[in-house]
Amino acid sequence: MAASVTPKIFLTPAKQSGPYCAVHQTTNPDSIKAFLEDLYFQALQPALPANAMRDVQWPQVTGRTYLLSIGKAATQMAAAILDRLPENVEGLIVTRQGYVEPGFAPDNFEIVEASHPVPDSLGAEAAQAALQAADTLGADDLLLVLMSGGASALLPAPADGISLSEKQSVTRALLRSGAPIGEMNMVRKHLSAIKGGRLAARAWPAATHMIAISDIPGDDIGMIGSGPTVADSSTCTETLAIAAKYGIELPPAIKTQLLSGALETPKANDPKMQRSTAELCARPADMCAAAVEAVRAMGYEPIMLGDALEGDALELGRDHAAQALEITANGRKAALISGGEATVTLRNRDGRGGRCTAYLLACALALQGEPDICGFAADSDGIDGSEDNAGAFLWPGIVDLMGGAEQARALLEQDNSYLAFERAGALLMTGPSGTNVNDLRVLLIR
């Protein structure tokens, strides 16, 4: 279990000095890693709840306010607005195991640490508690939902006729398939009693307001945490098509209900969705913009490749390496920056590595030791996949520390990119960051 840490706070890049000017003049891996880690934390600043939620507002009601905070940043989001909540507020906070903000334990909130990315019974029990709380709310009350990445797995409530084990099996198959997060969440919505707007329907006639940190490429607010309070536009037919696309064998109880339409989600014209509102407080674009400003202050020409990149992590790594080599050949001092959520299609179920290390290892192999390029790839939540690292670093000569190109390539093909960077002493270890706005990838070119 990764230990919780307090996110670092930095001066603005323009006020910093020291190793930033000399990162390409050193061959010391420790100096390069320190430089790159500082850049990673600089980029995170606008997405941390304490900063992102400073000015958020929510509907004021004459009745009760019930707070439900879900996701990898659940305790940090609740802490950010705690002093502005009504004195009689009660609530439930569900986060990943090990992600509770140190020292955060208010008496009026129950805190549950559940499993991610595959749901467990603790999350299922918490989901039932959330639904039961929603049932108690009336027309003068408010269900205030704070949402961050990871919520889809952390709050599982299988729809009637579906068991938790059946939902777990579908989740595992989706994770192995390489399906993008949008398609995964479409499936999750239709197998749930809480996602896809169903929580807001249960809370009606109470008002529902969601404040979300986006971990979804394109920032579709209905996809964040599979949208428990947002009307859903996807259908049972689309869900069946996604399963067929990736060769996922659905349990008979699920397939039958999808075919009949029994698992359809609330749509925008549903009367019970008319008192539900939602807003974003942090996006991947905010993190990428901060990275752009940081590298510009350090003297690099920022080249923004996009904040919502998807697709195969290995192909993305090779493509970015090719772009970096072209920039090097032209003699430019630049930084390639991108966000989004790539995918990895697993071939080895026992492999160790997430999408960030897979991307970066493919990139390192394609660079072939180019001396003028260094960089990193890391998930903004502090965890790359299901490992204990946020991501990894890249610098000239790193492949030699992995045992050479042949050994590094073999590790990549075995889905063991984590082990390759561990061997090189190049893992970025931060612990939970307190936010989740997808991945950040930066290649610095002298």
Is the torsion defined by CA of 155, 159, 160, 162 positive or negative? negative
Residues 114 and 226 grouped into a single domain: yes
Give strand ranges (E) for 296-386.
Answer: 301-309, 334-340, 373-379
| 115 falls within a domain | yes
| 225 falls within a domain | yes
Q: Is 315 helix (H, G, I), strand (E, B) or coil?
A: helix
Residue range 76-102, pLDDT digits in tens: 999 999 999 999 999 999 999 999 999
Q: 160 — alpha (psi -120 to 50), left (phi > 0) or beta?
A: beta
Written as six digits, the tokens of 11 are 């001066």
At residue 336's C-alpha, the angle toward residues 221 and 331, to 5°, is 165
- Under the banding of pLDDT at 50, 70 and 90, the label for residue 14 is very low
> Which of 230, 258, 282 is a domain's end point?
282
> Which of 263, 282, 301 is a domain's end point?
282
| 2 falls within a domain | no
Q: 247 — alpha (psi -120 to 50), left (phi > 0) or beta?
A: left
Residue range 275-292, pLDDT digits in tens: 999 999 999 999 999 999
pLDDT the model gives residue 27: 80
| 6 falls within a domain | no
Residues 278 and 336 grouped into a single domain: no
Residues 384 and 308 grouped into a single domain: yes
pLDDT the model gives residue 24: 73
Residue range 156-194, pLDDT digits in tens: 999 999 999 999 999 999 988 989 989 999 999 999 999
Q: Please give the Cα distance from 285 to 266 (Å, whole number).
A: 29
Residues 133 and 276 grouped into a single domain: yes
pLDDT the model gives residue 385: 83
pLDDT the model gives residue 274: 97
| 8 falls within a domain | no
Domain that includes residue 180, residue range: 53-282
pLDDT the model gives residue 11: 32
How many domains does the chain contain in total? Answer: 2
Residues 29 and 85 grouped into a single domain: no
- Give the chain's end-to-end CA distance (angstroms, integer): 38
Residues 104 and 158 grouped into a single domain: yes
Residue range 228-244, pLDDT digits in tens: 999 999 999 999 999 99
Residues 341 and 401 grouped into a single domain: yes
Which helix H or strand E contains 69, and what residues bound it? strand 65-70
| 143 falls within a domain | yes
What burial class does residue 271 get, using C-beta atoms within 10 Å of its C-beta: 0-12 exposed, 13-18 middle, 19+ buried? Answer: exposed
| 322 falls within a domain | yes
Q: Is 104 helix (H, G, I), strand (E, B) or coil?
A: coil
Residues 390 and 270 grouped into a single domain: no
pTM to 2 decimal places: 0.89
> Which of 282, 311, 336 is a domain's end point?
282
Residues 265 and 397 grouped into a single domain: no
Residues 99 and 25 grouped into a single domain: no
Is residue 433 within 8 A of residue 49, CB to CB? The reply is no
Is residue 254 within 8 A of residue 192, CB to CB? The reply is no
Residues 164 and 262 grouped into a single domain: yes
324: domain CATH number?
A: 3.40.1480.10
- Under the banding of pLDDT at 50, 70 and 90, the label for residue 22 is low
242: domain CATH number?
A: 3.40.50.10180
Cβ within 8 Å of residue 65, ≥6 positions away: 85, 86, 88, 89, 141, 142, 144
- Under the banding of pLDDT at 50, 70 and 90, the label for residue 4 is very low
Residues 173 and 193 grouped into a single domain: yes
Written as six digits, the tokens of 78 are 């609740």
| 206 falls within a domain | yes
